[in-house]
Structure 1
C-alpha cells in the first residue's frame, strides 16, 4: 500500500487535466502524466498502470465528444479495434519482462519519424485524400501501435493520427477523432492486465481521471472547432518535446 499526501493528489490531478487537454487535440498526454507519477515516487509499473486508468477515462471522454459530431466510424473499425485490443494486451504483458532502457533508445527514432512527416508533408490538413492502404492492410499497423501503447504508451496517439492521415487518407480532424477510439481500446486492454497484476493505484487514478476528463472535454471542443490549425502545431510540439526528453534521458 502506497501512502500519498493530499498535495500529491492535487498535483497529479492538475497534471492529468493538462494531459487530457493536450491528448484530446494532439495525443501525447502521457508525456505529462507518466513523468509526473514517477516524480511523485510512484513505482514504474504502478505509474504505468495508474496512467492507463486515468487515460482511459480521458480518451473515452474525447471519443464521446468526437462521436457526437459523427466523426468516429465505429462500424468500419470493428476488426481493427479487436486487433488493437489483443496487441495492446500482449504489449502490457511484454513490458513486464523487457528493459525500459531498450525501449528508451528506440522511441526517439520513432518520434523523429512522426515529426519529420508532420513537418514535411503538405497533406496534414482537414481535407481527406486518397488512401494508400485499405483497412485490411492498415489493421496490422494499427495493431503494432496498439502493442506499443500497451508496452509503454506516450506518443501512441500521435502515431495513430499520423498513420491515419498518411495511409488512410483522412483529414487531420477526422483522424484525431478515430484515433480516440483506437487509443481507448489500447489503453483499456493494457489497464486490464496492469489491474490483474496489482499495478494500479485506484484512488489516485480515479481522482486524476476527473481532471483528465475535464481537460479532454475542453481539448476535444477546441479540436472540433479549430481543426488542423490547432492540431498540427500541437502535434509537432508534443512530438519534439517527447523526442528531446527521451534522447536526454537515454543517451546523456
Structure 2
C-alpha cells in the first residue's frame, strides 16, 4: 500500500491524473475520451492491454459518477434501462475477451476499420443534428447497435461513446439526453470489460487510481459545460474528432 501511495503522489501520478481529467471532459462532451486517454498512456510506456484495462476502469468510474448524478436529479430511471445495461455489459465482457486473444497490431487494424465505418455514420447523421429536436419525437431504440458498440468498447474503445451519441441523435434524442444514455451504456460496458481484465491480471492499480480520480473530476466538469454546447458546434466537431481518431490509429499501424 505504501508503494502504491508513493506512485499516486509522484510526478507520474499527477501526469496520469491530468490525462484522466482531460480525457473525461472530452469524453462527456464528444464521446472521444479514448482520443486523449489511450495514446497518452501508450506514450508514457504502458502496454496496450494494461492501457485498455485501465481505460475501462477509469471511464467506468467516471460514467458511474455521472449516472449517480442523473439518478439523484431524477433525469433517468435505471429500471427502464436495466435490460440495455445487461446487454451492453455482456458486450463489454465479450469485447475484452476478444482483445486478449489479439495482438496490438490486430487490435489497431480492428479499431481503424471500426472508426472509418463510424466516421461515415457521423457524416450521414448531419441531417439529424441540424436542429434541436424535442423529446416527443424520440424513436424506438434497437439494442443490437449499442451491444455491437459495447463489444468494440470492451476490446478497444476510442470513439465508442461517440458512436452511441451519434446513434441516439439519429433516433431524434436531444443532445443532453443522448449524452445521458451514452454514459449509462459506457458505465455498463466498461464494468463488464474491466471485470474480465481484472480477473485475467491486466489491471495495474498504481496507474488506474490516479487516472480514475482525474476522470471523475473531468466528468463533472464536462457535465457543467454541456448546457453551453450548441448543436452547430457538434455538427462541426464530431467529424473532426472522428477524423483525428482515425489518423491516430493509422499512425499507430505505420510505426
Bin for the TM-score computed over the shorter chain:
0.7 to 0.9
Counterpart Cα distance in 2 of 1:211 and 1:31: 16
Residue range with higher mean Cα deviation, 242-251 or 220-229: 220-229
Among candidates 77, 87, 93, match of residue 81 of structure 2: 77
1:103-252 map, 5 Å:
103-120=107-124, 121-124=126-129, 125-128=131-134, 130=137, 134-135=140-141, 138-166=142-170, 168-250=171-253
Length-normalised TM-score, structure 1: 0.87
Among candidates 29, 39, 42, match of residue 38 of structure 1: 42
**CA gap 1:51/1:70 in 2 versus in 1, 3 angstroms:** same
**CA gap 1:240/1:62 in 2 versus in 1, 3 angstroms:** farther
Q: How many residues align?
A: 248
Length-normalised TM-score, structure 2: 0.86
Q: Provide the alpha-carbon RMSD of the alignment.
A: 2.6
> Shift of residue 122 of structure 1?
2.0
**CA gap 1:107/1:198 in 2 versus in 1, 3 angstroms:** closer
> Shift of residue 71 of structure 1?
4.2
Unmatched tracts of structure 2, length 5 or more: none
Aligned to 1:96, what secondary structure does the other structure show?
helix
**CA gap 1:101/1:72 in 2 versus in 1, 3 angstroms:** farther
Q: Any conservation in 2 of the 1:126–1:173 contact (CA below 8 Å)? A: no
Counterpart Cα distance in 1 of 2:234 and 2:120: 16
Counterpart Cα distance in 1 of 2:236 and 2:63: 20
Counterpart Cα distance in 2 of 1:178 and 1:33: 21
